[in-house]
Each structure stands twice: as structure tokens, then as C-alpha cells.
Structure 1
């Protein structure tokens, strides 16, 4: 009987140590999940704020203002329009226009 009691005692101690280890690991994983969820909430909030900023930056009036001020762009008018033709395409376009085969 003494030998059986020792074996049972060792099994009890080992199972107790295993239970403590599993409980510790479960707590550690739970804390890690909570941290990940908190980070997810923070990233979602930051993403939403960036989307709001993006929409605010992309309004047509703001884009036009930046184009005028920083890029020195201006509205296209017939007075400032320059037409560029390709050297090889120009003779074909002229011959096509002469024969009545316009590009329209």
C-alpha cells in the first residue's frame, strides 16, 4: 500500500503543478487577447479619424484652392490651350480629313 500511496501522491502533485501551469497560461493568453482587442479599438478609431481627414482634404473646393495656390494652376480657356500633335499621326489625320473620314 505504501508504494501505491506514493505513486498517487506524485500523480496528485504533478496534476496540481500542471493545473497551475495551465491556469497561468490561460491568464496570460487572456491578457494578451485583451491587449490585442484594445489595440484593435485604437486602430479602428485612428482609421476612422484618417477617413474623416481624407474626406475633408479631398473636397473639390480645397483641391481647387491647393491647385491654384501651391501648384499655380489656372482654369483652362481657349486662349491658353495648346494642341500638340504627333509628327507621324499628323499626315494621316490630314489625309483622312481631306477624304471625308474625320475622327468624329
Structure 2
């Protein structure tokens, strides 16, 4: 009977240690999950801010300003516009293709 009691006490001790270990592991995993959720929220805020910055950078006013400042571009005006005349009018191009 003493051996059975010792065996049961050992089984009880082992199961208690296992319970403590799994409880600790569950708390640690929950803490890691909480940290991951906080990191996700922070990254989501950063992503939305970067998305807004990208949309702001693509506006025509900013593109125009950067083209003027960095590339020294200027708007087209009749004084600086050069017109190119097609040497073959549209009607004669179709006729020349038919003659081949």
C-alpha cells in the first residue's frame, strides 16, 4: 500500500508541476500576443500615415512645384512652343499605302 501511495504522490507532484509550467507558458504567450497586437496597431498607424504622405506627394501642385524647383521646368506658352507640321497629310498617307 505504501508503494501505491508513493506512486500516486509522485503522479500528483508531476501533474502539479506540469500544470504550473503550462500556466506560465499560457501567460507568456498571452503577453506576447498583447505585444504583437500593440505592434500591429503601431504599424497600422505608420502605414496609414505613409499612405497619406504618398497621396499628398502625388498631387499635381506638388509635382508642378518639384518640376519647377528641381528640374527648372516651366509651363508651356505660345512663345516657347514649337509646332511640327506633318510632311504627309493624312489623306496622302492612305493613298500612298494603297499604291504599294
TM-score by length of 2: 0.77
Q: Aligned equivalents of 2:63 and 2:36: distance in 1? A: 38
Unaligned runs of 5+ in 1: 84-92
Q: Which position in structure 2 is the counterpart of 1:45?
A: 45
Match of 1:100 in 2: 93
| CA distances 1:25-67 after superposition (whole Å, capped 9, x unpaired) | 0011000000000000000011111111112222111110110
Aligned residue pairs total 92
1:99 CA displacement: 5.3
Structure 1 window deviating more from structure 2 (54-63 vs 21-30): it is 54-63
Unaligned runs of 5+ in 2: 96-100
Correspondence for 1:90: none
**1:1-104 equivalences in 2 (<5 Å):** 1-76=1-76, 79-81=80-82, 100-101=93-94
Superposed structure 1 runs of 4+ greater than 4 Å apart: 80-83
TM-score (normalizing by structure 1): 0.74
Structure 1 Cα separation of the partners of residues 83 and 19 of structure 2: 82
Is the helix fraction higher in 1 or 2? 2
Q: RMSD of the TM alignment (CA)? A: 2.5
